[in-house]
Amino acid sequence: MSKTALITGASSGLGWEFAKIYAREGYNLVIVARSEDKLNELKTELEEKYKNKVWVCAQDLSAIDAASKVFNFTLENQINVDVLVNNAGFGDYGHFHEFDPQRQKELLQVNIVALVQLTRYFLPLMVKRGYGQVLNISSIAAFCAGPKMSLYYASKEFVRSFSEAVAEEVKGTGVTVTAFCPGPTATGFEKAANMEGSKLFTVFKPAKAKDVAEAAYKAAKRGKVLKYYGVIAIFMNLGSRLMPRSVSRKFAKMVN
């Protein structure tokens, strides 16, 4: 029997690549994002190429009830989700006190609340069946405070910490939880976050989304709890442990 992977943020970037990878590996898919047109384009491509079943669930995860609607969609269509890929997320650039409050709220809703709620909905069913994988996309931003991207950095640290804790809780149940922490990746994130001029994307060469998604897929398949990707991610992790926090946050401000 074919397994099913649910992927958020599937209309572009890493999510698009995750969908192609899981389809290639024989999974049926539930693809979630705001853009129904792009999801339908992806559905057509994957169903024609791999003959998998692909369900389109058009939801804006910044809406308060989005996670419950996604979960209800799977119940209504009698879909057992074996793999949950919490990939959706976005950032913003600037001083916290100058941010648009509504955009701040949406960032926290997508990056933290929706991720937690989706995990809470699907994890018990995975544990009951004795099989499942949760892949949460964190970031190198998880390792220190991030001036000029304060909420994004904090949200990714939450994702890493939350994922590690839940992974330990479900150990031995047949279910794994993976926090994947990539460095700068060519997904269009920098444009959406208004940070095209950031040294993270001008000095450091962003990784290809396809390569990052492949590494994340392999980490989840192996049941890794925490996986870094790229030299910058390894450096940031080690640096955050060795340097005083006052230094690490100044470094983050500089590269941001």
Give the active site residues: 152
Identify the CA nearest to 89 among candidates 167, 219, 207, 180: 180
CB 149 within 8 A of CB 256: yes
Question: Tokens 């590494």 sit at which residue?
Answer: 215
What strands, in cross-sheet order, belong to the sheet with 54-58?
54-58, 28-33, 4-8, 83-86, 132-137, 175-182, 226-229
Q: Which residues lie across from 227 on neighbouring strands?
A: 180
Distance CA 74, CA 67 (A): 11
The tokens of 81 are what? Answer: 């989700």
Distance CA 208, CA 82 (A): 27
Identify the CA nearest to 137 among candidates 74, 76, 88, 186: 88
Distance CA 158, CA 1 (A): 35
CB 125 within 8 A of CB 113: no
The tokens of 69 are what? Answer: 């609607």
